[in-house]
Structure 1
Amino acid sequence: MDSLPLVSVIVPVYNGEYSLPTLLAALQAQTYPNLEILIVDNNSTDGTAALLQAQASVRYLREERPGSYAARNAALQVAQGEVLAFTDDDCVPEPNWVFEGVQSLSSDEFQLAGGAIQFRFSEQPRLAEWLDSCQFLNQAEYVNWGRFAVTANLFVHRRVFEQIGPFSETLISSGDSEFCRRAHAHGFQITYAEKALISHPTRKNLKALFRKSWRIGYGNGQLSAQNQEKVVNYLSWEAYQLKRLNFQRLSDMGIQLNFQQKLLSTAMNYGVVTLARNFGSLAGYLTTHRVQSVKSQANAANSEVAVDSASGR
């Protein structure tokens, strides 16, 4: 890889009028000089379009097909970079984010990198924030145990997309893990880029956390119905590493929980997060399986008609 390859930063956004200014300021403050920024408006109904069209340093795209993976794929079609960097509109990258991400791919050993994600808390964090931060978005464990990274902070060499194709647009979640797993199956390697740091807001209430967990479960159910391998065996040590409540993360971020708070978090993890994920997974599996069954029946009927036509019946 050249010393300073062109990097395309790709961000899907839906109704990001209030979150985008902070992200754009962080992207424009990057220390990496060879950069293009592509923001994909996924049918926003607020002032997102006007805000982005007024930004001379941003390439504004609009994708009407719903879903963040469809939006990312739309940007991939026009991106010029040798390296593709992905984040979300509510994230705030550190000034050296792109530089450190590119550095992690500077050798031929790795073609994907998952950067570090640090949570942003309220002044007085709530239970939902504790759960969110010690259950989700632990890139180090995702990379080391699951061989994937989330698109909130992901760097990919262009040749990976050229060889294995884009993200799956049928998934409402887990498209990043499916893509990384597909890349791994083709021999591409992923690394953890600890210094490529972004911050991400916590979910502020249990309702928001339930919806997030349900959506993740739904995506896993979709993958199961498509007969694709899960990221990990749910009964394995890897699954435990990915799904456990990692209270050490909170401690590392300066938040200390007492025994009662840890006990309450554990109870709510099973009562909210695990329950939502399981229901979401069942819904995703049944819906996808039903759609596939309808398509199979339609294909079989079309094949029978084609055979009858060929035989002159």
Structure 2
Amino acid sequence: MRLSVLDLDFDTLPEQLDQPEGYDGAVVLLRLDGLPCGQAVVWYDQYDPDIPLARQLAQAANSSFWERWVAREMGVPAAEPIPHRQPSVAIAICTRERPDDLKRCLDGLLAMSIQPPIVVVDNAPRTDATRDVVAQYPSVRYVVEPRPGLDYARNTAFDQAEGEIIAFIDDDAVPDADWISCLLRNFDDPLVMAATGLTMALELESEAQVAFQKLGGFGRGFKRVTYDAVVIDPFDSWKAGAGVNFAVRRSAADIVGRFDLALGAGTTAQAGDETDFFRRLLAAGYKIVYDPQAMNWHRHRRSMEELERQIYGYECGSFAILTKALLFERNPRALARIVRWWRYQIPALLRSARKTGGGHLPFRIPVVQTRGACAGPGGYLRARQKARQA
């Protein structure tokens, strides 16, 4: 299955949708007055060019689009923050040996409506490919972090990037034109320590990319939400946003500590670094704002092998965080979370074992998740010991 990815304003739609050969349909980001407010999935075998496109998109649109459309028709203005001042900001890209993705990301950043300084942190490079890409952009600063691990790179960004706010974007993501300005507008409240945004699929060219999007992708919805420890359990901090798209106050590192070097990509814990950082912010009484207008586009992993590793890594990272909270923070609630996870996972494993055939994936998700969860505690302990020896 292949799907087109389209970005359309509902008020200025084309007369018809193009139907490129080899594609089964399209995932359409819907905007109203230029602002992202919902999405629709259109299947080409059901698309009728004789019916107005607006009608077909409206029928396929999700509830977020309709809520915003009804509010606009009733004259209810969108609840958008109006900042009194814009804090200084720097953008950090932590990367390793993905020059093509990095170039696309930098091109997008330099096309934004405002131009803050950009720092590229090259994490344990094996070649000069990243350096060569950055050399094409005189305004972009290049920094090497020789120790492998995403959080070594992120902590280096705290040291090297100048600004009250540090905005992080993955090298395989591309920002929307107003990405950084929409993130920054959420920091008027001094209790807001981080802001996150909506991430849409940049392409859906492979079965693995479509499958990841069906599983939820990086989507967190189209409504702006302010999270604190009252709204969500800090252990559910992943709901507040993803590491592909977030900004954080520099002072947050002084308050709750830096990113944990025993978590994240490049460690035996696999993932969980920004989730743990968000968890600590919420547990300390601070807020995180999810603002869907701070949007970027992510190139999902293209192969099933990469998707399987990604699902495995997320669960490994999740249990690494629980291990950290239980053993090193003496938080008994972590044990309750572990018990609750297994309470739901064991039935999922049994249901998966009873199913015949592999479905649309060449692996069983509950099995992969369980393998990751079992590897998480040991992965964290090994990564923690390695980080202490570094």
Give the TM-score of the pair, scaled to structure 2: 0.61
State the Cα distance separating 1:234 from its structure 2 match.
6.7
State the Cα distance separating 1:55 from its structure 2 match.
2.3
Q: Give the structure 1 partner of residue 366 of structure 2.
A: 274
Superposed, 1:182-261 pairs within 5 Å as 182-228=280-326, 233=337
Cα gap change, 1:112/1:59 in structure 2, threshold over 3 Å: closer, same or farther? same
Q: Give the structure 1 partner of residue 245 of structure 2.
A: 153
Cα gap change, 1:61/1:230 in structure 2, threshold over 3 Å: closer, same or farther? farther
Q: Percent of counterpart pairs with the same letter?
A: 23
Which one-letter code corresponds to 1:188 in the other structure? Y
Q: Which of the numbers 109, 112, 116 marks the counterpart of 2:198? A: 116
Q: Which of the numbers 191, 196, 211 marks the counterpart of 1:131? A: 211
**Kept in 2: contact 1:206–1:272 (CA 8 A):** no
State the Cα distance separating 1:16 from its structure 2 match.
1.7
Q: Give the structure 2 partner of residue 74 of structure 1.
A: 156
In structure 1, distance between residues paired with 2:325 and 2:190: 32
* Residues 1:52 and 2:134 aligned together: yes
Cα gap change, 1:225/1:19 in structure 2, threshold over 3 Å: closer, same or farther? same
Cα gap change, 1:105/1:290 in structure 2, threshold over 3 Å: closer, same or farther? closer
What SS does the corresponding residue of 2:325 show, helix, strand or coil? Answer: coil
Q: Which of the numbers 245, 256, 264 marks the counterpart of 1:164? A: 256
State the Cα distance separating 1:235 from its structure 2 match.
7.8
Select between 169-178 and 265-274 the one with higher mean Cα deviation.
265-274
State the Cα distance separating 1:292 from its structure 2 match.
7.6
Q: Which has the higher helix share?
A: 1
**Kept in 2: contact 1:209–1:273 (CA 8 A):** no
> Taking CA–CA contacts closer than 8 Å with sequence separation of 6 or more, which of the two structures ends up with the larger relative contact order?
1
State the Cα distance separating 1:183 from its structure 2 match.
0.6
For structure 2, the residue ranges without an aligned partner over 5 or more in a row are 1-82, 265-270, 327-332, 349-354
What SS does the corresponding residue of 2:117 show, helix, strand or coil? Answer: strand
In structure 1, distance between residues paired with 2:165 and 2:383: 36
Matched residue pairs, number?
Answer: 270
Superposed, 1:34-49 pairs within 5 Å as 35-46=116-127, 47-49=129-131
Q: Which has the higher strand share?
A: 2
| Residues 170-216 of structure 1: CA deviation (Å, up to 9, x unaligned) | 11310100000001111110111110000011222321111111111
Q: Give the structure 1 partner of residue 169 of structure 2.
A: 87
**Kept in 2: contact 1:213–1:277 (CA 8 A):** yes
In structure 1, distance between residues paired with 2:373 and 2:293: 33
In structure 1, distance between residues paired with 2:304 and 2:100: 22
Select between 210-219 and 81-90 the one with higher mean Cα deviation.
210-219
In structure 1, distance between residues paired with 2:164 and 2:357: 43
What SS does the corresponding residue of 2:99 show, helix, strand or coil? Answer: coil
**Kept in 2: contact 1:181–1:231 (CA 8 A):** no
Q: Give the structure 2 partner of residue 13 of structure 1.
A: 95
Select between 226-235 and 2-11 the one with higher mean Cα deviation.
226-235
In structure 2, distance between residues paired with 1:119 and 1:188: 30
What SS does the corresponding residue of 2:295 show, helix, strand or coil? Answer: strand
In structure 1, distance between residues paired with 2:385 and 2:143: 35
State the Cα distance separating 1:109 from its structure 2 match.
5.2
In structure 2, distance between residues paired with 1:45 and 1:293: 24
Give the TM-score of the pair, scaled to structure 1: 0.75
In structure 1, distance between residues paired with 2:174 and 2:383: 38
State the Cα distance separating 1:108 from its structure 2 match.
3.6
**Kept in 2: contact 1:98–1:196 (CA 8 A):** yes
* Residues 1:97 and 2:195 aligned together: no
The CA RMSD over aligned residues, in Å, is 3.4
Q: Which of the numbers 359, 364, 375 marks the counterpart of 1:283? A: 375
Which one-letter code corresponds to 1:225 in the other structure? T
| Residues 117-158 of structure 1: CA deviation (Å, up to 9, x unaligned) | 0012335x42x2232113232234996753342210011122
**Kept in 1: contact 2:96–2:125 (CA 8 A):** yes
**Kept in 2: contact 1:6–1:36 (CA 8 A):** no
**Kept in 2: contact 1:160–1:188 (CA 8 A):** no
For structure 1, the residue ranges without an aligned partner over 5 or more in a row are 245-262, 295-313
In structure 1, distance between residues paired with 2:356 and 2:195: 35
Q: Give the structure 2 partner of residue 260 of structure 1.
A: none
